[in-house]
Amino acid sequence: MTLTELQTLIAQGEGTRLDFKRGVPPVKDLALMVVCLANAQGGKLLLGVSDDGRITGCASYNIPDLLSGVYRATDPPITVDIEPVDTPNGTVLVISVPRTAFVHGTTGGVFQRRVGRECLPMSAAEVLAFQSERGGLDFSALPLPEIRFPDDVDSRALELLRAEIAVRSPALAAYSDSDLLRNLRLLADGDKPDRLTVAAGLLLAKPSVLRRALPQAEVAYVRFRSDVDIALNERLCLPLPLLLQRLEELIQAANDAHTLLVGLQRIDMPAFPVPVYREAILNAVSHRNYGLPGNIFVRHYPDRLEVMSPGGLPTGVTPHNILRQVVPRNPLIAEILQRAGYVERAGYGVDLMYRELLRLGKEPPIFAADELSVRVVLRNGKPDEHFVTFIEQRRRAGTSLSIEEMLALRYLTRNLEIDRDQAMALLGREEPETLELLSELVRQRLLERVVIGRATIYQLTADIGEQLGVSPLGRLLTPEQQEDRVLKYVRERGEITNRECQRLCGLNRDQARYLLQRLLKNGHLVSSSRGRWTTYRLASS
């Protein structure tokens, strides 16, 4: 590593994968620092750098002794790489710590994991959960200590679970309690046949037992009057059937609905559709990392509903591919939810969430994730009645659209056009699949392909634009003509607002914003705020 590379690394500041230490600590302390990084994502430990990023250097050190000392003081042993980097202020030791398939501790039995800039202790349950995930085991299938059938099973939860199963599999629902649990693999294997698995605890354990044995199962529901004013705060530690029932009661108490008539068909459009938020909650319960402390939070605002769960997305899943990639972190929980019918009603993965929200003229869900949490945001915007009517009429005609097709059309009701790169980002697909889908929409005469110089864009056809309530004037003007109109207007009037741009080019608010942002990005306009309004003027003025 060069001095420049070291300075660039230090400039990043401490974080989950980077830690600074002023000098060379004792081997025992160094081993714990290495364990802390290894149990997170791995990373680098810089010896000879103070917390504020100043290089202090290491006065004396012996690299072979440090390497062997860390190896002997960790369990399972960790092999690190140590590279000295000479600087004007002394030598910095760059220790590279790998992320392995194991959860590591010190030989003294101390387990820690780096979270942000801190090293936090790990409980025995957290160690087991992390090890099961890293080793490809299923934490939800492991025995839950000190919980037995039938004493610790909540009879109401078992009754609700049986009722769900009866809809899909009447023969299975007729089994005795013990046979039903055994068939669902809720009873742990081994010499104690009455022991319950972690999945069984989440589904069926009595609240008092669940709170003691698996406190991570608690869900906090918070309803807000505004972003800072709390109206209701309730903490729930209930088996899943009772948890879903109670959360639905809480959310429905403040879930206004709007009704639309399409012919004789009445379509109810609640602020937050029940199947969508049930799916968000079920995903949080079945995919969260139970090795992390903390609980699931359901935050209910007037304009949005947020479901946040501890732990990042499962390996291989990103917000970009989440619509297509399904990797259950807790396979047994996911399997039981499917067999019991919960995921049939609430969808598996997020496809149902997308489809239901788009069908009701709403924005698709937002997924935000880092290594510590996953947050799903459902927005309570005004439904697009033109879009709802269009989708319903297509359904009646037997020409229903796929989720990707609905996403593309919904995007084009708010934007002037879409190009290949924008479509790839929107749909989470690679170039060949994206171009194939756009070509299919052109073939169906929903879109038309427009070539501008070397660029190719896609727009709604005039007929579809009219059905979706998109202004025909905006459709008749090319992007260049729209830009010319705006620039001519600004030269004559000195400035333009979004509302004036809408009238000038026959666009809706989002389309006008897109056009003005494009002129900003291209350097033709600059913006400034004036009270409630943002105004735009020529960049040269």
Residues of the chain with confidence (pLDDT) below 50:
344-347
**What domains are there in the chain, each with its CATH number?**
3-122 (3.30.950.30), 139-217 (no CATH), 220-385 (3.30.565.60), 401-464 (1.10.10.10), 475-538 (1.10.10.10)
CA 18 to chain centre: 24
Instruction: Give every CB contact of residue 378 below 8 A, 6+ residues apart in sequence.
Output: 272, 276, 277, 280, 304, 305, 306, 353, 357, 365
Is the torsion defined by CA of 443, 409, 276, 370 positive or negative?
positive
HSE of 240, CA atoms in CB hemisphere, 13 A: 25
Instruction: Give CA separation, 144 vs 152, 159, 352, in Å.
Output: 11, 21, 32
Question: Are 411 and 404 spatial neighbours (Cβ–Cβ below 8 Å)?
Answer: no
Element spanning 263, H or E: none
Question: Are 428 and 437 spatial neighbours (Cβ–Cβ below 8 Å)?
Answer: no
pLDDT the model gives residue 347: 41
DSSP of 385-413: HHHHHHHHHHHHTT-PPPHHHHHHHHHHH
pLDDT the model gives residue 218: 93
Measure the CA–CA gap between 212 and 223, rounded to whole angstroms: 26
Structure tokens that stand for 482 in this block: 């729209």
R_g over Cα of the chain? 28
